[in-house]
Structure 1
Amino acid sequence: MDAVRDMLENNKKIKRWSALPNHSPSIAWIVRGEKFFWTPEGNATEQGNQSKNKNKNKKRPEPRYEIGSITKTMTAFRLAQGEQDGLWQPSDTLAKLIPELESSDFARQATLRQLATHTSGLTRLAKNQVLAKRDKTNPYAAYTEKDLIEAVLEEKFRSGSKHEYSNYGYGLLGWALGRISGVPLHEALRRELFDPLGMNATIMPVIEGTQPNTSSSNEATGSGAAKNVSGGNEPASSDTLTVPGFAPGGRPVRHWDFTSAMAGAGAVRSTARDMLTYLEAQLGQHPAAASFESSLLACQNEQASVAPSKGVGIGYAWMRSMRKDGTVTHWHNGATYGSSSFAAFNRDLQSGFVILSNRGVSFAGQIKQMIGLGELSTDRAAHLVAEVLFKNE
């Protein structure tokens, strides 16, 4: 797709953004089955990469990134897949499925569908997740299953709640699906999504207990006691390394740790190549995804309205935007303190893209971007890519 590559190489804002100190972004896109990859150091098609590496014994190290809230689309897939397997129904309430939550006013009325569409009335964070009393650089590391259950037991249900984005809600959803099925979310995703699609570099590290490594260093392979899907420390492989993260302004920050209580909201780490494979499945182009196509479509289908007048809705996690040409673009972004990401696809146009960055965005930085100041964000870079990639001529 020459138009996208040309834009990335010649757009002045993209050039400044990609050249920020310690910045190592990766951008990948797919058009009717053909894959493309771009970094500031160079770019190639999927076929080109294969031919270049054909006679090499050692693969080029591939960076892994924290993908933040794009994780929610994978948690949502687990919900849809469990529906197909008869483990639960979207209209089931938490209290119906988890007896220990029966005394909660919220759990007796909130459904799995409401959690998946951010319409349960839960706020962005639980009331008992007081960041001031925890490690501010690693905000979810000390939030345990006990904390989560205590929060839900105290929660009141708000009838008629509209769409309100909630990390709390998706942490609860991911935990609940694991508790109901007896299979932790990270293990279910490995079995049902990552392994079948060949997303071998994608992991959901989950720490055990409440004692993550408090070292101030930001190791390339992850943080301290984080456990990967196979139960050991995140592998320090020459093929896949989690890149160090940097806050706006270039200050190094640690990777985030998650317990099972909040992993469903943002714990996954992945590579541009694996994420493009994920989008390939969303587009119906991956042969291994045929067996769970119905679950992918359930996540894409509109489950709740967000802004009807603007043609914006939500499936299970995936946001849906109706374009002027009548096609629908699905998207989700994500961020930690030291990373930002964006994934989007248009099934009608059979194309999609992912942007992974090891640079976070501050609240002040978001305000500056709204008025055209400050450094380019991953979200704004995504807008530029989408303008070119989804141009329907």
Structure 2
Amino acid sequence: MLPATRRRLTHRVAAAQAQGRTPSLVAAVVRDGQTVWTGSASMIEGHAPDADTQYRIGSITKTFVAVLVMRLREEGRLDLADPVTRHLPETAELVGEVTVGQLLAHTSGLASETPSPWWERTPGALRPELADVLGAAPAKHGPGRRHHYSNPGYALLGALVERLRGAPWGDALRAEVLDPLGMHRTTLLPQAPAAGGFAVHPWADVMVPETVEETGRMAPAGQLWSTAADLARWAAFLASGHDAVLKAAVVEQMRLPAAPPEATDPEGGYGLGLQLLRRDDRDLAGHTGSMPGFLAAVWVSPADGLGALALTNCTAGPAVSALAADLLAITAEAEPRFPTAWRPAEDIDQDLLDLAGPWYWGTAGFALRVRSGRELHLGPLTGPGRGSRFHVEHDGTWTGREGYYAGETLRAVRREDGSVSHLDLGSFVFTREPYDSAAPIPGGFPGWNA
């Protein structure tokens, strides 16, 4: 990284520590899967934390739980459309038909918090059962109707993981995620060296230690401790996946919007266990976290090949979400990513080449482009309109990856002699000529000379 970039990043962290009035702050930037910068600031000169110092990461814990759930889905152990009660039948009277996917995206309509007292400041032993976490009337909105952040919803997901794995969710996390990614300093309870959490008085320069509680059933909502070095590995995973944990295509699905944004936060959104943010004309994914005495944030921009994170040890003050996003933006603007060099695709067969070029849906012109790996891209010839990348399937069809055609099947319909008659995309017929008389146009067409 260029010295001028490093200085800008270091200055931004120093300003955040001073203006946010926090005892310490540590941050990192990841580029193309590797940590390229770490920085820190502290109230004690010469004793700033390093990338191995643990901080509590709060709700960033939810991203780890979501990955465990997605692994179960990839194994066929559950479906995101499954009612939670299929796997946790004891919750039937409390959660109704809420689905696994709705819990992941916070669209279940369940309460944002547990019944009193506040779970973050009380021993988890006070709520030994899921019913104690949910309370007598947890439903605040109809399932699927709106985004309503729910901490108890992630307690349910942690219990679901335990039920299907037959082991504590923390043990499953260690074996299936943390160890494969080399995240050996991410733990349920703090391990030295670890920062202490503090509350800083809003109107005076004094601070008081915060109490740290073990949250029991609520642990999947915010229990984990981690380091800048480990969260840098996590950022690399959220940007690109890891074949031993979740493939890149599945992590990409987690980064897609799965819940409507709140009217009060139109630049925000939520995927499958990941917060989404539109900032500086970039689409970011990641999560923020807070627990008494701690704040944390991690954001990734896959388009830039970048991730950034920030950890601090005070209850309120530093805007760590904005800080992490700023660190990412500083790096992207000062050292923009070089595009991958174009290379011709290998082994594209003639059948695929026959599909390339212009097609028409009615009278609207589209272009079909053939990319490496047999991936197709269909989009308007000119101007805005519906377009999508299409991923090849084993049966010779393609599945849309985004936009209007996400999940829809594209197939080439051939005549008896093997030539292509038309493309069928979710019953839309695309032809080589506008309303081609030789193709089966739904409803018929009189022809241009009629």
1:182 lines up with 2:182 in the alignment: no
> In structure 2, what is the Cα distance between the partners aligned to 1:359 and 1:155?
30
> In structure 2, what is the Cα distance between the partners aligned to 1:13 and 1:304?
34
Residue of 131, 135, 141 corresponding to 1:148? 131
The alpha-carbon deviation at position 94 of structure 1 amounts to: 1.6
1:271-310 aligned within 5 A: 271-284=227-240, 289=245, 292-307=247-262, 310=266
- Over alpha carbons, which structure has the higher Rg? 2
The alpha-carbon deviation at position 281 of structure 1 amounts to: 1.5
Please name the residue that 1:139 is paired with: 122
Residue of 296, 308, 324 corresponding to 1:341? 296
> In structure 2, what is the Cα distance between the partners aligned to 1:382 and 1:162?
28
The alpha-carbon deviation at position 27 of structure 1 amounts to: 0.5
Please name the residue that 2:187 is paired with: 203
1:118-267 aligned within 5 A: 118-126=106-114, 128-131=115-118, 138-139=121-122, 141-146=124-129, 148=131, 151=134, 154-156=137-139, 158-159=141-142, 160-205=144-189, 222=190, 235=191, 240-249=192-201, 250-259=207-216, 261-267=217-223
> In structure 2, what is the Cα distance between the partners aligned to 1:61 and 1:201?
10
Does the CA-based 8 Å contact 2:26-2:51 persist in structure 1? no
Taking a change above 3 Å as real, the CA distance of residues 153 and 182 of structure 1, as seen in their structure-2 partners, is farther
Does the CA-based 8 Å contact 1:67-1:340 persist in structure 2? yes
Please name the residue that 1:379 is paired with: 321
Structure with the larger helix share: 1
Taking a change above 3 Å as real, the CA distance of residues 376 and 196 of structure 1, as seen in their structure-2 partners, is closer
Please name the residue that 1:14 is paired with: 16
What is the root-mean-square deviation of aligned Cα atoms in Å? 2.9
TM-score (norm 1): 0.72
Does the CA-based 8 Å contact 1:129-1:143 persist in structure 2? no
> In structure 2, what is the Cα distance between the partners aligned to 1:266 and 1:25?
19
3-state SS in 2 of match to 1:78: helix
The alpha-carbon deviation at position 86 of structure 1 amounts to: 1.2
Unaligned segments of structure 2, at least 5 residues: 43-49, 202-206, 337-450
Does the CA-based 8 Å contact 1:14-1:376 persist in structure 2? yes
Please name the residue that 1:75 is paired with: 65
3-state SS in 2 of match to 1:242: coil
> In structure 2, what is the Cα distance between the partners aligned to 1:275 and 1:314?
20
> In structure 2, what is the Cα distance between the partners aligned to 1:14 and 1:8?
11
Taking a change above 3 Å as real, the CA distance of residues 247 and 293 of structure 1, as seen in their structure-2 partners, is same
- Aligned-pair identity in percent equals 25
Q: Which amino acid aligns with 1:274?
A: D
Q: Which amino acid aligns with 2:109?
A: G
Taking a change above 3 Å as real, the CA distance of residues 119 and 199 of structure 1, as seen in their structure-2 partners, is same
Please name the residue that 2:24 is paired with: 24
3-state SS in 2 of match to 1:145: coil
Q: Could you list the per-position Cα deviations for residues 17-64 of structure 1 after superposition, in whole angstroms to 9, with x for gaps in the alignment?
A: 48x46x2211011122442211227xxxxxxxxxxxxxxxxxx89211
> In structure 2, what is the Cα distance between the partners aligned to 1:79 and 1:190?
14
Please name the residue that 1:269 is paired with: 225
Q: Which amino acid aligns with 2:127?
A: T
Please name the residue that 1:40 is paired with: 41
Q: Which amino acid aligns with 2:125?
A: A
Does the CA-based 8 Å contact 2:51-2:228 persist in structure 1? no
Taking a change above 3 Å as real, the CA distance of residues 120 and 140 of structure 1, as seen in their structure-2 partners, is farther
Does the CA-based 8 Å contact 2:25-2:311 persist in structure 1? yes
